[in-house]
């Protein structure tokens, strides 16, 4: 039975994970969304239109790139990378966003709202809204607004309204709560474009479906290039959408799948966002679904930490939690320090600049590749590009010349203001 | 006595029965106690004690902050139950637990209902637990004589009201408008029509909540519904104007 062939009365459940835990006021809206999504999923012309649009608008199919220098340097497995960074807006987020944009058109709604953490999803949503002519409001934690100004700049210039959320920890989870509050008020004309494969059913299934384009392409590409399947496939896991996307291409194959979470300051620190690789998290129900959450014993959520804002989240995709429990996906976590080292190595040997999120996948993949045989293959999802997030990457690498440049810039702006 | 029996006996000649709300531990348990004393003195019939949760996604800004600050001050689930036990022993009104499902899920449903009963609670309102997921909790509650309060909203279809009506116990909580708690609701034909529709699917008393803030609202509702729910308006008054204004608010809401 496939993951999405739900048993009677268990729609939206993957083992004990998933479900729909929403206020009564949203029941009708979710039913409408489920019906529309079913219709789209059963209509081959919808997927065709989606793929064509991803080709013409976002440059799909994204290539699979062989990394000869790094493979030779580590002396183990041959390393390949799926290049989601080459999408328009610089990450895999656009796959989901364009899919939901097409679906929103079918729903006949005129306005989209979204939450964003790092700003990638908000940026992609603002792009889509501009293209499709939707009104757009993006909810973003005030802490994230402060640390991701460049993405806020683009969202606003693309015509979106960016609302800084000052509740709670003022990060991604609080932005999700605020988007929900908007939705329970404005659902008649508004679609909520959830950014990852989390939240209430049908979002985990729907986002995974749009992201499956990554795995479908990658399987064909790696077979064409190497004549065989990879031995191990790595992807970073925040909410779990890029990983679900790539992994779906290999679920029925004899291929090991490894989800890489944010290890932050390490397993003992409690300053991380690792729900499955570390042992802090427990089963709970929040933000519309049941999964492993980083929470205390009374069910209130803990603070999380990651060098990568896009992985800094309390919960995890319920499908991924199920695949983990079944032993189909293994989980590991990369610490902030491991991520910094991996980023430097990948940049200097291959000239690739993965996003800090994606670098979590690289960090674990490179460690394991070094111990594998030369005739084995490792595939990594490069879910996004890092060059766009120059402020965060420069901070992560603690770059003194960059700091000097920014101080000069600040002084210049101050002078302009005073004169 | 079941919640429904209690409501029947406490009705008297009141224009409407009143359910009021406090967030446990906000501004403090001492403030909560003073608020409840004033509510009791004014003849409030039912009180919902909100157990604070870190992700109160069905609440508006004022309650979101109250949840957050209460947790920050260290409020625990045990403290909330202890407070409930004190309150239900001290006042004539009945007490309900209001909160989010994760609080119950983490505790375990059986244990939660047992603890609620022990603390003198007679029911619970859990806005993020839809009926499809509530089967086991409701049946444990039923066994123990605890009333799960069902919510009906402007977007609830007739077919669904029929399903919800069958599960209703104590009273039905009618959400007067879309949105979260906090902002004002324009009382008018929409609300009357909604309550009429609800009555076609259940014969338990009907409570109306979300945005009720004044005597005018009570005067509008008294001929169509049984219970008025006062949430944000009370906390706002307490914070901005203090105990005397709080007393005046409840006096005007409950005046014959
Ligand atoms: C580049 C990139 N990769 C990964 C993620 C994590 O999300 P997910 O686990 O849903 O792929 C994000 C989220 O913002 C991101 O921007």
Give the count of domains, chain B. Answer: 1
Q: Residue B91 corresponds to which tokens in the numbers above?
A: 């006042």
Whether the predicted pLDDT of B75 surpasses 80 = yes
What is the average pLDDT score of chain B? 96
Distance from CA of A272 to the nearest CA of B (A): 18
Of residues B72 and A419, more confidence is placed in B72
A191 pLDDT more than 90: yes
> Residue B163 is part of which domain span?
3-254
Give percent above pLDDT 90 in chain A.
Answer: 92
How much of chain A is in helix, strand and coil states, percent to nearest 5?
50, 20, 35
User: Residue A112: beta bridge partners?
Assistant: A136, A191
Q: Could you tell me the distance, in angstroms and rounded to a whole number, from the CA of residue B195 to the centre of ligand 1?
A: 45
DSSP at A79: E
Burial of A279 (0-12, 13-18, 19+ CB in 10 A): exposed
Rg, C-alpha atoms of chain B:
17
- Vertex B175: Cα angle to B170 and B181 (nearest 5): 115
Contact A295 B106 (CB under 8 A): yes
Strands laid side by side in the B123-125 sheet:
B147-148, B123-125, B94-98, B46-50, B17-23, B227-230, B206-209, B172-175, B150-152
Contact B170, B145 (CB under 8 A): no
Measured between beta carbons, the chain B residues lying within 8 angstroms of A297 are 106
- Which DSSP string corresponds to B216-239? HHHHHHTTT-SEEEE-HHHHHHHH
Give yes or no for residue A250 having a pLDDT over 70: yes
CA A300 to chain centre: 24
Phi, psi of A265 (to 5 degrees): -90, 10
Residue A120 CA: which ligand 1 atom is closest?
Answer: 16
Chain B's closest residue to A173, CA to CA, is B55
Tell me the nearest-neighbour CA distance from A145 into chain B, angstroms: 19
What residues of A are in contact with residue B175 (Cβ under 8 Å)?
24-25
Give every CB contact of residue A7 below 8 A, 6+ residues apart in sequence.
Answer: none
Which residue among B35, B45, B59, B226 is the active-site one? B59
Closest residue in chain A to residue B181, using alpha carbons only: A181
Burial class (CB in 10 A: 0-12, 13-18, 19+), A66: middle
Q: Residue A168's pLDDT is what?
A: 85
Contact call for A299 and B106, based on CB within 8 A: yes
Q: Atom of ligand 1 at shortest distance to CA of A358?
A: 3
pLDDT digits (tens, 9 = 90+) for A49-102: 999 999 999 999 999 999 999 999 999 999 999 999 999 999 999 999 999 999
Catalytic residue among B35, B45, B48, B217: B48
Q: Please choose, from the candidates B77, A324, B173, A85, the residue with its C-alpha nearest in 3D space to the C-alpha of residue B164.
A: B173
Minimal-distance CA residue of chain B relative to A288: B128
User: pLDDT value at position B186?
Assistant: 83
How far is it, in rounded angstroms, from Cα A59 to Cα A236? 22
Q: What are phi and psi of B136, to 5 degrees?
A: -70, -45
| C-alpha dihedral, B11 to B14 to B15 to B19, nearest 10° | -60
Whole-number Cα distances in Å, A122 to A128, A179, A184, A245, B54: 10, 12, 20, 19, 24
Query: Do A21 and A200 touch, CB atoms closer than 8 A?
Result: yes
pLDDT tens column, B2-49: 899 999 999 988 999 999 999 999 999 999 999 999 999 999 999 999
Across the interface, whether the CB atoms of B106 and A20 are under 8 A apart is answered: no
Q: How far is B105 from chain A (nearest CA, A)?
A: 7
Q: How confident is the model at residue A297 (pLDDT cuts 50, 70, 90)?
A: very high
Q: Is the pLDDT of residue B183 over 80?
A: no
Minimal C-alpha gap between A298 and chain B (Å) = 6
Per-residue pLDDT, A236: 98
Eight-class DSSP state of A295 = B
Residue A31 corresponds to which tokens in the numbers above?
Answer: 């039913």
Q: Is the peptide bond before A202 cis (omega within 30 degrees of 0)?
A: yes
Q: Are A338 and A41 in contact (CB under 8 A)?
A: no
Peptide bond into B27 cis (omega under 30): yes
Q: Average pLDDT, stretch A261-286? A: 97
Cα(A307) to centroid(ligand 1), Å = 13
Query: For residue B222, what pLDDT is reported?
Result: 95
pLDDT at A195: 96
How far is it, in rounded angstroms, from Cα A152 to Cα B29?
Answer: 41
Average pLDDT rounded to a whole number, residues B92-96: 98
Q: How far is the CA of A394 from the centre of ligand 1 (A)?
A: 19
Percent of chain B with pLDDT over 90: 91
Average pLDDT, chain A: 96
- HSE-CB at B230 with a 13 A cutoff on CA atoms is 30
Residue B132 with chain A: CB contacts under 8 Å = 20
Report the complex ipTM: 0.95
Please report the sign of the dihedral spanned by the C-alpha atoms of residue A168, residue A171, residue A173, residue A179: positive
The mean pLDDT value for B225-252 works out to 97
Task: Go through the domains of chain A in sequence order and give each one's CATH number.
Answer: 13-55+93-203 (3.40.50.1100), 59-90+211-396 (3.40.50.1100)
Q: What is the pLDDT of residues B101-113, one digit of tens each?
A: 999 999 999 999 9
The shortest CB-CB distance from A21 to any of B60, B77, B133 is to B133
What's residue A274's pLDDT?
Answer: 98
* Rounded to 5°, angle at Cα B144 from B140 and B149: 70
d(CA B141, CA B204): 17
Q: Which residues of B touch A300 (CB under 8 A)?
A: 53-54, 71
Res. A393: pLDDT tops 90: no
Question: Residue whose CA is closest, atom 10 of ligand 1?
Answer: A241
Q: Under a CB-based contact definition with an 8 Å cutoff, are residues B245 and B5 in contact? A: no
Q: Which of A231, A215, A255, A228 is nearest to A77 (CA)?
A: A231
- Tens-place pLDDT, residues A146-176: 878 899 999 999 999 999 999 888 888 899 9
In chain B, residues with a C-beta closer than 8 Å to the C-beta of A187 are 155, 178
The token pair that represents A280 in the structure block: 């802090």
pLDDT higher than threshold 70 for residue B88: yes
Structure-token match 């501004």, residue found: B27
Q: Among A171, A196, A313, name the best residue to mutate to test ligand 1's pocket (greatest count of ligand atoms within 8 A of Cβ).
A: A196
Strands B46-50 and B172-175: unpaired
Whether residue B182 is predicted with pLDDT greater than 80 in this model: the reply is no
Reported confidence tier of residue A1, pLDDT bands at 50, 70, 90: low
Average pLDDT over residues A270-288: 97
* Rounded Cα distance, B253 and B213, in Å: 9
Q: Do A295 and B102 touch (CB under 8 A)?
A: yes
Kindly report the CATH number assigned to the domain that includes residue B216.
Answer: 3.20.20.70
The full DSSP string for A211-234 is: HHHHHHHHHHHHHHHHSS--SEEE
Distances (CA, A) of A43 to A47, A188, A193, B53, B221: 7, 25, 21, 41, 48
Per the CB < 8 A criterion, the answer to whether B134 and A23 are in contact is no
At A198-229, the pLDDT tens digits run: 999 999 999 999 999 999 999 999 999 999 99
The residue of chain A nearest to residue B178, with distances taken between CA atoms, is A185
């Amino acid at each position: 039975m496939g993951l999405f062939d739900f048993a009677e009365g268990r729609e939206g459940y993957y083992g004990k994970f998933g479900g729909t835990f929403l206020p009564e006021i949203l029941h009708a809206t979710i039913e409408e969304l489920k019906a529309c999504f079913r219709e789209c999923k059963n209509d081959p012309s919808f997927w065709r239109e989606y793929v064509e649009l991803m080709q013409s608008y976002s440059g799909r199919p994204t290539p699979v790139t062989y990394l000869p220098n790094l493979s030779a340097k580590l002396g183990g497995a041959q390393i390949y990378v799926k290049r989601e960074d080459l999408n328009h807006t610089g990450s895999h987020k656009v796959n989901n966003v364009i899919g939901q944009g097409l679906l929103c058109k079918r729903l006949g709604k005129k306005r989209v709202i979204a939450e964003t953490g790092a700003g990638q999803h908000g940026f992609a949503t603002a792009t889509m809204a501009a293209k499709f002519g939707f009104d757009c409001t993006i909810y973003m934690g005030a802490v994230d607004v402060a640390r991701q100004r460049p993405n806020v700049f683009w969202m606003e210039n693309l015509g979106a309204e960016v609302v800084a959320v000052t509740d709670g920890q003022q990060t991604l989870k609080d932005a999700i709560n605020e988007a929900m509050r908007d939705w329970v008020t404005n659902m008649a004309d508004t679609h909520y474009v959830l950014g990852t494969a989390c939240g209430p059913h049908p979002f985990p299934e729907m986002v995974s479906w749009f992201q499956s384009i990554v795995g479908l392409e990658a399987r064909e590409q790696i077979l064409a290039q190497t004549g065989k399947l990879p031995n191990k496939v790595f992807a970073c896991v925040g909410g779990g959408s890029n990983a679900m996307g790539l992994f779906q291409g290999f679920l029925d194959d004899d291929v090991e799948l490894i989800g890489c979470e944010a290890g932050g300051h390490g397993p003992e620190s409690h300053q991380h966002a690792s729900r499955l690789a570390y042992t802090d998290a427990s089963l709970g129900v929040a933000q519309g679904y049941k999964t492993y959450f980083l929470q205390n014993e009374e069910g209130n959520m803990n603070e999380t930490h990651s060098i990568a804002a896009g992985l800094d989240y309390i919960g995890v995709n319920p499908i991924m939690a199920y695949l983990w429990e079944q032993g189909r996906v293994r989980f590991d976590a990369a610490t902030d320090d491991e991520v910094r080292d991996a980023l430097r190595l990948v940049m200097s040997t291959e000239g690739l600049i993965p996003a800090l999120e994606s670098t979590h996948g690289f960090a674990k993949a490179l460690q394991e590749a070094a111990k594998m045989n030369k005739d084995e293959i490792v595939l990594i999802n490069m879910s996004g590009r890092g060059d766009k997030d120059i402020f965060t990457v420069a901070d992560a690498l603690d770059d003194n010349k960059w700091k000097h440049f920014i101080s000069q810039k600040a002084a210049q702006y101050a002078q302009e203001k005073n004169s | 006595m079941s919640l429904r029996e209690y409501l029947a006996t406490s009705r008297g000649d009141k224009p409407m029965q009143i359910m009021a709300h406090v967030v446990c531990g906000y501004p403090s348990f001492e403030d909560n106690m003073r608020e409840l004393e004033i509510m009791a003195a004014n003849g409030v019939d039912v009180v919902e004690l909100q157990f604070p949760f870190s992700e109160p996604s069905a609440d508006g800004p004022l309650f979101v902050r109250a949840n957050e600050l209460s947790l920050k001050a260290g409020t625990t689930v045990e403290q909330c139950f202890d407070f409930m036990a004190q309150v239900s022993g001290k006042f004539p009104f009945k007490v309900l637990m209001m909160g989010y499902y994760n609080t119950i899920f983490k505790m375990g449903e059986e244990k939660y209902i047992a603890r609620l009963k022990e603390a003198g609670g007679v029911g619970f309102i859990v806005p993020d637990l839809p009926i499809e997921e509530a089967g086991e909790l409701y049946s444990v509650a039923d066994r123990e004589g605890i009333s799960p309060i069902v919510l009906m909203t402007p977007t609830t279809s007739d077919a669904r009201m029929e399903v919800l009506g069958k599960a209703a116990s104590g009273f039905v909580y009618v959400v007067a408008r879309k949105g979260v708690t906090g902002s004002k609701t324009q009382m008018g034909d929409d609300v009357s029509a909604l309550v009429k529709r609800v009555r076609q699917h259940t014969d338990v008393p009907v409570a109306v909540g979300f945005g009720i803030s004044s005597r005018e609202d009570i005067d509008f509702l008294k001929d169509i519904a049984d219970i008025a729910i006062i949430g944000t308006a009370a906390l706002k008054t307490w914070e901005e104007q203090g105990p005397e204004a709080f007393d005046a608010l409840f006096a005007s809401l409950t005046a014959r």
